């Protein structure tokens, strides 16, 4: 429990569990005072309150002098509008942070696989290099070459399939990057870019299939 020290009806300070020198002979936490000592030293119960809702991009919320609410000294807050220059910096930082988060989601999905003929194929950088190698091999792909898909099953790799996988990668990448850019435009136009929700509209990846 917290306590307030009141002098002549005016709030002086808040005390919690620390030792306080109330007099030359009384040095102890407020919670250990007797009712008589609390009255003598002006120690009363203190009530905390939650900060009110505010926009951290354009406002600040600070604790101010407590007041009595229903007879109990209660924590109070004041909201102040920020300077226009500070707001501009905050908005720019919020947009940069949110764009970084959107790009991270974009890159995560880029590595989430793409489909050909009902099968999901790996799309991490290493797999993309291997798939490009298959395209370059063309008709020289070894006959009967078994290629592992994302569900753990194998398919027979052919020149045609290699080309289809390569094309699927391009289509998938374009869709993912387009969605990221659309989210960026919407986020930057938002009055609250820090709260912008970019979870919707993405092409599905293997783990969502």
* Binned average pLDDT, 10 residues per bin, the chain of 209 residues: 93 92 95 95 96 96 96 97 97 98 98 98 98 97 97 98 98 98 98 96 97
pLDDT of residue 6: 96
Distance set, CA 158 to CA 123, 132, 150 (Å): 18, 13, 18
The C-alpha angle 99, 108, 136, rounded to 5 degrees, equals 120
pLDDT of residue 16: 87
CB 56 within 8 A of CB 75: no
Pick the closest to residue 51 from 41, 42, 39, 59 (CA basis): 59
pLDDT of residue 45: 95
pLDDT of residue 168: 98
Calpha distance 192→87 (Å, rounded):
12
Cβ neighbours of residue 175 closer than 8 Å, sequence gap 6 or more: 203
Q: How many CA atoms lie within 13 A of 157 on its CB side?
A: 22
């Amino acid at each position: 429990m917290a306590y307030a020290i009141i002098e002549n009806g005016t709030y002086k300070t808040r005390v919690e569990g620390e030792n306080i020198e109330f007099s030359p002979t009384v040095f102890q936490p407020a919670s250990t005072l007797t009712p008589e000592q609390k009255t003598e030293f002006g120690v009363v119960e203190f009530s905390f309150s939650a900060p009110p809702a505010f926009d951290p991009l354009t406002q600040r919320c600070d604790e101010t002098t407590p007041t009595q609410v229903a007879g109990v000294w209660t924590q109070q807050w004041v909201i102040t509008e920020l300077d226009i220059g500070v707001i501009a910096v905050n908005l720019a930082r919020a947009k940069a942070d949110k764009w970084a988060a959107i790009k991270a989601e974009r890159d995560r999905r880029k590595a989430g696989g793409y489909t050909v003929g009902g099968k999901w194929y790996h799309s991490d950088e290493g797999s993309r290099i291997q798939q490009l190698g298959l395209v370059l091999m063309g008709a020289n792909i070894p006959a009967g070459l078994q290629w592992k898909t994302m569900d753990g099953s194998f398919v027979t790799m052919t020149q045609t399939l290699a080309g289809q996988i390569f094309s699927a990668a391009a289509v998938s990448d374009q869709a993912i990057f387009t969605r990221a850019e659309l989210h960026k435009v919407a986020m930057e136009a938002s009055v609250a870019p820090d709260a912008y929700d970019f979870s919707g509209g993405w092409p599905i990846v293997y783990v969502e299939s």
